[in-house]
Amino acid sequence: MSAPVRRLRPQRWPHAWLALWIAMIAVVLFGSLLPAQRLPPPAFDGIDKVQHLFGYAVLAAYAVLLIARVRLQVFAMLGLVALGIGIELAQDALTATRRADAADVVANTLGVLLGWSLQRTRLREMLVALEAWLMQVRTRVTR
């Protein structure tokens, strides 16, 4: 195994899971930089903060499922917070219809903390358990 993979949890398909996490980050990045007029109208005021919180909680929780070492998880969490700040700055600098919002940064950061809290539970092994289950299903189907 290559060095980066050893830092991940013992999974059968570590590169696939890592690629999925990177794709999720790319979706957040792309969606955050879309012009405002290309987005659906908000259902109610403040829904975007809920979306920020939820989106970053999912990214952080997935990082916990993926990354084995707590120290590396900390770096991933800091990277997600930096991503949220960077996106807000990019919205201000690169788009004419979006503005940086400190409340979005707060929601992103709270989402990261919420997602990282998964580290303190047994759910952190959920991806390994999912792979084991998928292998059992595959074995039953191929018999």
The tens place of each residue's pLDDT in the chain, 143 residues long, gives 455 556 877 778 888 999 999 999 999 999 899 887 777 787 878 889 999 999 999 999 999 999 988 999 999 999 999 999 999 999 999 888 888 999 999 999 999 999 999 988 888 888 778 888 888 887 888 77
pTM here is 0.83
Q: Is-contact 109 81, C-beta < 8 A?
A: yes
**What's the pLDDT at 5?**
56
Residue extents of the structural domains in the chain: 3-142
Residues 143, 140: Cα–Cα separation, whole Å: 5
